[in-house]
Structure 1
Amino acid sequence: MPTFDAIGIAGTGMTVSRKWLDAVSDNLANMSTVSATTDDAFQARYVVAQSVEYGEPAGVQVAGIELGDAEGRLVHEPDHPLADEDGYVRYPDIDMASQMTQLIMAQRGYQANAAVVDRAKESYTAALQIGKN
């Protein structure tokens, strides 16, 4: 692997981690979104990543976004304005603990790839300084 590929590969990892962070933050922001029982619940977003082993650039990419269950969960809230005749409303089926775990994983992935970019830049700069002398 050529030395300059490290920045490109780490950059693809940062892009996937950023999209993962966006999806998790969207899920967390909408986990209390209420819908009528006749409507679909907010569907959680899940980023699907895949490796890119051949071609330019090598690294990782977002293969797509999968959506969670549109059925959600029914909650008995008879005083809610969207409640049906039985007093039920629909909430998304999003687990906060799982989303917070994914948030930390995505954040650490972003940080690790950013560290690779920093180290590679330092190595390239040091190589240029050696060649200068």
Structure 2
Amino acid sequence: MSLFNIFTVAGSAMTAQNQRLNVVASNLANADSAVTSNGQPYKAKQVLFMSIPSVPGTDPNNSATGVKVSRVLEDQSPMKLIYEPTHPMANEEGFVTMPNVNVVEEMVDMISASRSYQNNVDMMNTAKTLLLKTLSIGQ
């Protein structure tokens, strides 16, 4: 794998982790919302990644792969029912349907995505340093 392919792979991973962070932020922002703009409770979303092959012609062994977000899925876990009969969105039995967002899981996901992003930044910086040192050998 060429040292230049590292930038392509790390760049695709950073883009994917950025999208993952946006989805986590959306989930956390709507964790306490009883309804969304469409009148339904918010459903948590999860990011699904897929690998993508390298750009043809850049790697003769075609060993470099990147990553991208293939889909953003709605979480199918059941919604939370909270007993609050005075709430304006309560049903006849006094329960309010709240989003199926688990705040603890979302925070862990946010930390994981943030660290993955930072690891890719570090990898790109290391590759850049190696390339610069390689160029300075010839001077």
TM-score by length of 1: 0.87
- Decide whether the 8 Å contact of 1:72 with 1:92 is kept in 2: yes
Aligned to 1:11, the other structure's residue is in SS state helix
Structure 1 runs (4+) greater than 2 angstroms displaced: 53-58
CA distance in 2, matches of 1:11, 1:129: 25
1:29-79 CA distances to partner (integer Å, 9 max, x unpaired)?
A: 11101139xx53201111100112354583111111111138512211111
RMSD across aligned positions (CA): 2.0
For these two proteins, the number of residue pairs brought into alignment is 130
Whole-Å separation in 2 of the counterparts to 1:50 and 1:17: 12
Amino acid in the other structure paired with 2:30: N
User: How many angstroms apart in 2 are the aligned matches of 1:129 and 1:63?
Assistant: 40
1:77 counterpart = 2:81: no
Matches within 5 A, 1:29-48: 29-35=29-35, 40-48=40-48
1:27 equivalent in structure 2: 27
After TM superposition, give the deviation of residue 114 of structure 1 in Å: 0.6
Matched position secondary structure for 2:86: coil
Q: Would you say 1:115 and 2:122 are equivalent positions?
A: yes
Partner of 1:12: 12
**Separation of aligned partners in 2, 1:53 and 1:94:** 33
Where does structure 2 lack aligned partners over 5 or more consecutive residues?
Answer: 57-63
| Equivalent in the alignment of 2:53 | 53
**How far off is 1:84 after superposition?**
2.3
Correspondence 1:66 to 2:73: yes
